[in-house]
């Protein structure tokens, strides 16, 4: 029997400023999941369905699952971040949900904290405690603030939008957050979308067998086809910070790829300075200085790297 869930996803708007897999992002192309099967790296299951209410936080829950899976696959470490911290601080709205962009920006700005500093018992039988109002009244403790800063000092969280045509290759290099319709089940026990609408966020568990990891039981589900879900996925990467000043060749076009003030701007590297100013003038200078040969002459910089260089107006 089909069980339909309420909408919890605000679908992304992919545009020219969106960081796209295979493009200008600071994420390396190292293969960390050789066969695209992330099941051995999945975290402990944590549900978003409470005894008396639903968090509506599938985007936050799946983002957390992606971070934990990526940490295990990329670095061989077991981590457990607080779902509640991510769901609430990212501005999730009950009966509306949230977007992949908003959750990503929130964890980039606020960091993440260990589960025990933002814990929540979803099976609590006390109807006065296990409520939507209490859940969303959460604020970080002083200890949580300190833990988030330590994590931000050591790691950055980077998102890349990946079109369906690149999912197989991308699944070998990180963890994908997917947007599905919950839930229609066919006679084979496979989940599918008969309407083309998408209301729930999960992560990819295994590309070859079309398995996903969910925040509802059954935790691992099989889709009838990858074509049944939204065509864009968010690849979520947990990257250790390298504070060494990057080596950049002269006449390289660089971009500050971080959210917040100053993020997204372009510059032209020259003699240990970054020239900034009018984008059209920068691009014209970039093409002229490279005689039109621009392949391999671009580089993304995170905020720490961008701030290491003196800026001069072109």
Domain check: are 55 and 196 in the same one? yes
264 and 161 belong to one structural domain: no
Predicted confidence at residue 3, as pLDDT, reads 61
> In this structure, are 78 and 221 located in the same domain?
yes
Same domain, 110 and 213: yes
* pLDDT value for 43: 97
For residue 87, how many other CB atoms are within 10 A of its CB? 28
Boundary (domain end) residue, out of 181, 207, 240: 240
Whether residue 303 sits in one domain with residue 164:
no
Q: Do 144 and 85 touch, CB atoms closer than 8 A?
A: yes
276 inside domain: yes
Closest CA to 234 of 2, 7, 27, 1: 27
**Per-residue pLDDT reduced to its tens digit, 121-132:** 999 999 999 999
The answer to whether the CB of 288 falls within 8 A of the CB of 280 is no
15-30 in b/e form (b: 16+ CB < 10 A) is: eeeebbbeeebbbeee
Question: Is 134 in the same domain as 271?
Answer: no
Identify whether 3 is part of a domain: no
30 lies in the same domain as 68: yes
- Which of 211, 240, 269 finishes a domain? 240
Do 64 and 44 share a structural domain? yes
In-domain check, residue 4: no
Q: What is residue 1's predicted lDDT score, i.e. its pLDDT?
A: 40
**pLDDT score for 305:** 86
Number of folded domains in the chain? 2
Which tokens belong to 219? 């935790």
Give pLDDT, residue 16: 62
Residues 6+ apart with CB under 8 A from 134: none
Q: Is residue 42 in a domain? A: yes
Q: Answer yes or no: do 260 and 206 share one domain.
A: no
The residue from 206, 240, 274 where one domain ends is: 240
Which neighbouring-strand residues pair with 175? 236
Domain membership of residue 309 as a residue range: 252-313
Q: Are residues 147 and 282 in the same domain?
A: no
Verify that 62 and 126 share a domain, yes or no: yes
Helical residues (DSSP H) of the chain, grouped into ranges:
58-75, 83-89, 100-110, 132-136, 142-154, 167-170, 279-289, 303-306
201 and 279 together in one domain: no
* Per-residue model confidence as pLDDT tens digits over 244-295: 788 899 999 999 887 777 788 999 999 889 999 999 999 999 999 999 888 8
The CATH number that applies at residue 182 is 3.90.70.10
User: Low-confidence residues of the chain, pLDDT below 70?
Assistant: 1-6, 16-17, 23-26, 243
């Amino acid at each position: 029997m089909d069980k339909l869930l309420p909408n919890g996803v605000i679908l992304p708007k992919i545009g020219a400023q969106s960081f796209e897999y295979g493009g200008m992002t600071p994420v390396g192309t190292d293969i960390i999941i050789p066969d695209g099967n992330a099941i051995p790296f999945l975290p402990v299951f944590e549900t978003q369905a409470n005894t008396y209410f639903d968090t509506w936080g599938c985007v936050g829950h799946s983002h957390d699952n992606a971070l934990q899976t990526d940490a295990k696959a990329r670095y061989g470490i077991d981590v457990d971040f607080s779902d509640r911290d991510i769901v609430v601080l990212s501005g999730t709205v009950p009966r509306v949900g949230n977007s992949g962009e908003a959750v990503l920006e929130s964890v980039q700005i606020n960091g993440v904290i260990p589960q025990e500093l933002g814990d929540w018992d979803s099976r609590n039988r006390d109807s006065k405690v296990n409520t939507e109002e209490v859940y969303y009244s959460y604020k970080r403790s002083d200890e949580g603030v300190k833990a988030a800063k330590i994590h931000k000092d050591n790691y950055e969280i980077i998102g890349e939008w990946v079109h369906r045509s690149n999912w197989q290759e991308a699944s070998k290099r990180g963890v994908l957050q997917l947007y599905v319709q919950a839930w229609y089940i066919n006679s084979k026990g496979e989940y599918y979308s008969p309407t083309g609408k998408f209301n729930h966020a999960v992560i990819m568990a295994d590309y070859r067998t079309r398995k996903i990891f969910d925040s509802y039981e059954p935790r691992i589900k099989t889709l009838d086809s990858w074509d049944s879900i939204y065509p864009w996925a968010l690849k979520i990467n947990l990257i250790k910070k390298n504070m060494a000043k990057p080596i950049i060749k002269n006449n390289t076009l660089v971009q500050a790829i971080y959210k917040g003030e100053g993020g997204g701007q372009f510059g032209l590297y020259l003699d240990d300075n970054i020239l900034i100013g009018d984008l059209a003038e920068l691009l014209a200078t970039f093409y002229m200085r490279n005689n039109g040969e621009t392949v391999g002459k671009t580089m993304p910089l995170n905020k720490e790297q961008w701030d290491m260089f003196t800026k001069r107006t072109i």
